[in-house]
């Protein structure tokens, strides 16, 4: 499917009457009628289609170039919708919904038959999430249907945190984009499997395993996270993701060590980038040095991560060295995404 144009609706997320805005009404109508439309959430932009219609879902997979065995998250605006879409809802799931919805938490539950086959890629479970973003919630409410939405990037690219990122990847491939400004959290939702005895984190995200444990008592983490030879329970986790065009390396070591690596590359005539934070911005001599938030606040690093990875593409670098971040709090999600973007390329000083 190709579109001569991709419509851009600009909306103000602080508008109290979003449901009544002509832009939201039109975008919602297009979704309910089977078109695919990108919209902002508190994590990243999603590419939405009617989760009850296989044809709409096929358009999402086609536009993104997404492998068909990778299921989509279904977005909802009310808790009543959970009953229509999922079955056998365990108590831990209800507790997690009460604690974190709307918010960056996706729950895997047994699915109901109403959901289009293609959404769940043949699995008997469904991923549900209620996003914490006024534009997303207004759109979902007005559309009146559950909306399946993966991140609105071309498959393999960093997820989009602005409407401009979406437009760059998908212009002419989707019907429209609701531009509600930059997203906040910047990394995707935490995916938690609630179909077993213990809640299991399949993808780290905006809500940490510690926060989940506080609500349900016990939590496990998919053993396949971080082990490349195990099959992950969340199909999407196995694909290379978020990758900039230049080869990204994660560097465990001092700034001086990173600079040595940069110098070696420069001697060979390679164009080199460094991913650092405001703290290290002036410490490097490289072709492109980008500050991604501040180490003092890991949330600021998460928020800028994908935009920074995309900016290296604009700088045309061949190799990127990235500093690493503490594996705690939202740092777990940051490191998970950086490791994916690096495809396992890691260099250590020791």
Output the smallest distance, CB 274 to ligand TXA, in A: 27
Residue 246 in contact with residue 262, Cβ under 8 Å?
no
Token couple for 332: 């777990």
Cis peptide bond upstream of 197, omega within 30: no
Q: Which of 81, 106, 265, 277 binds ligand TXA (CB under 6 A)?
A: 106
Residue 44 touches which member of ligand TXA, Mg ion, none, C-beta under 5-8 Å by kind: ligand TXA
Strand partners, 128: 74, 107
Measured torsion, CA atoms of residues 108, 112, 117, 120, in degrees rounded to the nearest 10: 0
Residue 237 touches which member of Mg ion, ligand TXA, none, C-beta under 5-8 Å by kind: ligand TXA
Q: Could you give the maximum distance between any two Cα atoms of the chain, in Å?
A: 62
Q: Which of 8, 123, 154, 224 binds ligand TXA (CB under 6 A)?
A: 123
Output the smallest distance, CB 129 to ligand TXA, in A: 6
- Looking at residues 37 to 56 of the shown chain, list those that interact with ligand TXA (rule: CB under 6 A): 41, 43-44, 46
- In the complex with ligand TXA, which residue's Cβ is closer, 150 or 273? 150
DSSP class of residue 118?
G
Output the smallest distance, CB 262 to ligand TXA, in A: 32
Distance CA 40, CA 132 (A): 10
**Placement of tokens 């959970």 in the chain:** 82
CA distances (Å), origin 111, targets 73, 123, 125 = 12, 9, 5
Residue 234 touches which member of ligand TXA, Mg ion, none, C-beta under 5-8 Å by kind: ligand TXA
For residues 76 to 105, the per-residue mask of contacts with ligand TXA, x marking binding by CB under 6 A and - elsewhere, is ----------------------------x-
Distance CA 212, CA 37 (A): 31
Helices (H), the chain: 22-32, 54-64, 80-85, 91-100, 134-143, 163-170, 209-216, 255-267, 298-315, 331-341
191 makes contact with ligand TXA (CB under 6 A): yes
- In the complex with ligand TXA, which residue's Cβ is closer, 126 or 286? 126
Q: Which of 189, 265, 311, 336 binds ligand TXA (CB under 6 A)?
A: 189
Output the smallest distance, CB 316 to ligand TXA, in A: 27
Output the smallest distance, CB 189 to ligand TXA, in A: 3
Residue 158 touches which member of Mg ion, ligand TXA, none, C-beta under 5-8 Å by kind: none
Residue 108 touches which member of Mg ion, ligand TXA, none, C-beta under 5-8 Å by kind: ligand TXA
Residue 250 touches which member of Mg ion, ligand TXA, none, C-beta under 5-8 Å by kind: none
- In the complex with Mg ion, which residue's Cβ is closer, 151 or 265? 151
Measured torsion, CA atoms of residues 175, 177, 178, 179, in degrees rounded to the nearest 10: -160
Distance CA 36, CA 58 (A): 10
CA distances (Å), origin 110, targets 25, 85, 125, 175 = 32, 9, 4, 31
CA distances (Å), origin 49, targets 59, 154, 168, 219, 239 = 8, 16, 20, 32, 22
Residues that bind Mg ion (CB under 5 A): 151
Kindly state the number of chain residues that form the binding site for ligand TXA, as judged by CB under 6 A: 31
Q: Which stretch binds ligand TXA (CB under 6 A): 21-29, 161-169, 230-238, 301-309?
A: 230-238
- In the complex with ligand TXA, which residue's Cβ is closer, 235 or 280? 235
Residue 324 in contact with residue 252, Cβ under 8 Å?
yes
156 makes contact with ligand TXA (CB under 6 A): no
- In the complex with ligand TXA, which residue's Cβ is closer, 73 or 142? 73
Q: Which of 21, 70, 220, 270 binds ligand TXA (CB under 6 A)?
A: 70
């Amino acid at each position: 499917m190709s579109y001569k144009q991709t419509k851009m609706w600009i909306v103000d997320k602080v508008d109290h009457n979003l449901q009544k805005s002509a832009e939201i009404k039109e975008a919602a109508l297009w979704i309910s009628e089977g078109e695919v439309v990108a919209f902002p959430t508190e994590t990243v932009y999603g590419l939405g289609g009617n989760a009850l219609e296989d044809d709409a879902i096929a358009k999402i997979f086609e536009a993104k170039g997404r492998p068909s065995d990778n299921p989509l998250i279904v977005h909802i605006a009310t808790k009543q919708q959970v009953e229509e879409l999922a079955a056998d809802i365990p108590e831990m799931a209800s507790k997690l919904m009460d604690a974190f919805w709307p918010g960056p938490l996706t729950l895997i539950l047994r699915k109901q038959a109403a959901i289009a086959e293609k959404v769940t890629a043949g699995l008997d479970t469904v991923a549900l999430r209620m996003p914490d973003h006024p534009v997303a919630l207004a759109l979902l409410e007005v559309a009146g249907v559950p909306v399946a939405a993966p991140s609105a990037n071309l498959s393999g690219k960093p997820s989009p945190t602005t409407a401009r990122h979406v437009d760059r990847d998908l212009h002419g491939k989707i019907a429209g984009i609701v531009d509600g400004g930059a997203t906040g959290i910047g990394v995707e939702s935490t995916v938690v499997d609630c179909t077993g005895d213990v809640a299991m984190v399949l993808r780290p995200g905006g809500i940490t395993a510690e926060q989940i444990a506080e609500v349900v008592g016990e939590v496990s983490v998919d053993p396949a996270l971080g082990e490349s030879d195990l099959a992950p329970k969340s199909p999407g986790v196995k694909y290379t993701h978020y990758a900039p065009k230049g080869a990204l390396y994660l560097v465990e070591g001092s700034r001086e060590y990173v600079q040595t690596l940069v110098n070696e590359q420069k001697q060979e005539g390679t164009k080199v980038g460094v991913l650092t934070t405001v703290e290290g911005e002036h410490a490097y001599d490289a072709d492109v040095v980008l500050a991604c938030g501040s180490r003092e606040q890991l949330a600021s690093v998460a928020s800028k991560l994908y935009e920074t990875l995309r900016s290296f593409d604009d700088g045309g670098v061949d190799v990127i060295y990235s500093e690493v971040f503490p594996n705690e709090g939202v740092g777990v999600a940051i490191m998970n995404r950086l490791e994916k973007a690096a495809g396992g390329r890691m260099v250590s000083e020791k």
